[in-house]
Amino acid sequence: MSRWGDRLPRAPREADFTSSLRGPEVAARVGLWLGLCFTVAFLTGIWSHLYQDQPSWLTIPTRPVWVYRVTQGLHYLSGTAAVPLLLVKLYAVYPKLFAKVPFGRLRELVPHLLERLSIALLVAAAIFELTTGVLNTTEWYAWSFSFRSTHYAVAWVAFGALVLHVAVKLPVIRSALGRPVDDGERPEPGLTRRGLVRTALGASAVAVLAVAGGTVPWLRTVSLFETHDGSGPQDLPVTKSARAAGVTATALAPSYALEVVHGGTRRTLSLDDLRAMTQHTVTLPIACVEGWSAAAVWTGVRLRDLLDLVDAPAGATVVVRSLQESGAFKASEVRGNLADDDLTLLALLLHGAPLSIDHGYPCRLIAPNRPGVLQTKWVSRIEVA
Ligand SMILES: Nc1nc2c(c(=O)[nH]1)N[C@H]1C(S)=C(S)[C@@H](COP(=O)(O)O)O[C@H]1N2
Ligand SMILES: [Mo]
């Protein structure tokens, strides 16, 4: 007669996982690239937050105009590259989950549990960051929390846990990297460890190529999974349409007028008034945090010329407001150095034709070296702060 316990499936043990592909040789090599991807994503992510929540002491230079475009592209691509690497890394270390817990020996138990806790945090945070990041590029917000603040907060957890992990594992990493990835003899037929590491790196490269066209124009034709492939009205993608922003009627209304306000001074300009002002043409990118960027040719009025109409002092910070009544991007702040820049326009034309309504008709802000989320569309009011 068998007892109950014999009939229940037994939990796996570390020794049950016999593939020689698993282990520190693969984990350390794939981990090196994964750590690099996470570091790039972390630093470029912090950089992006500095633009979006610009501290008062920080002045961000307006040149080169493409800096944010490049850092945002790196963020997007390093995060994408990390996805296959993380999967292979988890595969290589997964049996450790079933390692024996040294319950009897307190001296070993405490460090063991601490390590498990830090790894649990690292794995959970890494999976969370990559999942929310990838979903964000598809603009599928399958959650109710704020994407940006949560992705940002968990990034600190992930990166902190990563640094701790590397510090704790340094001896293991060094010895694994110091010996050849394969043992010389092939213990089992099929994939070698070197083959697995190469497959991981290859998969990572394929993932990057599959989406890079959204931000690297000459890769557009190879990027089969790119959602923002350059299509859209006037050959420029759209993140938020006029209809989604609820501005179709107000943007097209003949009564549209732009207000420029500085204290008690106020000017109201019709679209014809704006067209009658000196027009300038600039080539500037839109670099969207959802993972695409594209350069375009914009024509319109310099923001500084509008500020001069209400005697705004040089260096004044301004707030640009949209016809859009709700949503995080209905307004943006423009610091003095950017507001006074010759390339900062209230654009009326895109590639020589009036802005399509989805690109911000009647007029939209376009400024150098700035996240797309701050390039406010359907502008209705400019206020000197
Ligand atoms: N009023 C308003 N402006 C906005 C947005 C918005 O949702 N509302 N989206 C921003 C985002 S996220 C980006 S990337 C750019 C995209 O500009 P485009 O749609 O003309 O390409 O517009 C920005 N301007
Ligand atoms: Mo965006």
pLDDT tens-place string over residues 266-307:
999 999 999 999 999 999 999 999 889 999 999 999 999 999
Q: Nearest-CA neighbor of 77 among 13, 137, 157?
A: 137
Q: Which of the four pLDDT bands, split at 50, 70 and 90, describes residue 10?
A: confident
Asked if residue 53 has pLDDT above 60, the reply is yes
Asked if residue 251 has pLDDT above 70, the reply is yes
Amino acid letter for position 237:
P
- Asked whether the beta carbons of 237 and 94 are under 8 A apart, the reply is no
Q: Which of the four pLDDT bands, split at 50, 70 and 90, describes residue 231?
A: confident
Domains of the chain from N-terminus onward: 2-219 (1.20.950), 242-384 (3.90.420.10)
Q: Which of the four pLDDT bands, split at 50, 70 and 90, describes residue 230?
A: low
Ligand 1 close to Cβ of residue 214 (< 6 A):
no
Q: Which of the four pLDDT bands, split at 50, 70 and 90, describes residue 54?
A: very high
Asked if residue 169 has pLDDT above 80, the reply is yes
Nearest CA to ligand 1 atom 24: 376
Q: Which residue has the tokens 């003095």?
A: 336
**Cα 45 to middle of ligand 2, angstroms:** 14
Ligand 1 atom closest to 294 (CA): 21
Asked if residue 8 has pLDDT above 90, the reply is no
Amino acid letter for position 220:
R
- Best of 141, 377, 379 to mutate for ligand 1, by most ligand atoms within 8 A of CB? 377
Please give the average per-residue pLDDT across 93-113, as a whole number.
94
Pairing relationship of beta strands 257-262 and 265-270 according to DSSP bridges: antiparallel
Ligand 1 close to Cβ of residue 40 (< 6 A):
no
Please give the average per-residue pLDDT across 125-149, as a whole number.
91
Asked if residue 232 has pLDDT above 90, the reply is no
Cα–Cα dist 320/356, whole Å: 20
- Asked whether the beta carbons of 103 and 109 are under 8 A apart, the reply is yes
- Asked whether the beta carbons of 331 and 322 are under 8 A apart, the reply is yes
Ligand 1 close to Cβ of residue 378 (< 6 A):
yes
Cα–Cα dist 10/27, whole Å: 27
Q: Which of the four pLDDT bands, split at 50, 70 and 90, describes residue 249?
A: very high
Q: Where are the alpha helices (DSSP H) in the chain?
A: 4-7, 24-52, 67-93, 106-137, 147-178, 193-212, 242-245, 248-252, 271-276, 303-309, 336-339
Please give the average per-residue pLDDT across 9-35, as a whole number.
94
- Asked whether the beta carbons of 338 and 367 are under 8 A apart, the reply is yes
Asked if residue 5 has pLDDT above 70, the reply is no
Q: Give the number of other CB atoms < 10 A from CB of residue 252.
A: 12
Ligand 1 close to Cβ of residue 381 (< 6 A):
no
- Structure token digits, residue 356: 């399509």
Asked if residue 82 has pLDDT above 90, the reply is yes
Lowest mean pLDDT among 15-24, 85-94, 148-157: 15-24
Average pLDDT, the chain: 94
Q: Of how many residues is the chain composed?
A: 385
pLDDT recorded at residue 265: 97
pLDDT recorded at residue 378: 98
Ligand 1 atom closest to 360 (CA): 20
pLDDT recorded at residue 360: 98
Amino acid letter for position 253:
A
Cα–Cα dist 213/220, whole Å: 4
Asked if residue 252 has pLDDT above 90, the reply is yes
Please give the average per-residue pLDDT across 205-225, as a whole number.
86
Q: Nearest-CA neighbor of 302 among 326, 277, 332?
A: 277
Cα–Cα dist 349/300, whole Å: 6
Asked if residue 90 has pLDDT above 80, the reply is yes
DSSP 8-class letter at 173 = H
Q: Which of the four pLDDT bands, split at 50, 70 and 90, describes residue 331?
A: very high
Ligand 1 close to Cβ of residue 169 (< 6 A):
no
pLDDT recorded at residue 188: 65
CA distances in angstroms from 314 to 187, 308, 309, 370, listed in the order given: 73, 9, 13, 20
Q: Which of the four pLDDT bands, split at 50, 70 and 90, describes residue 227?
A: low
Note the pTM of the prediction, 2 decimals: 0.94
pLDDT recorded at residue 381: 98
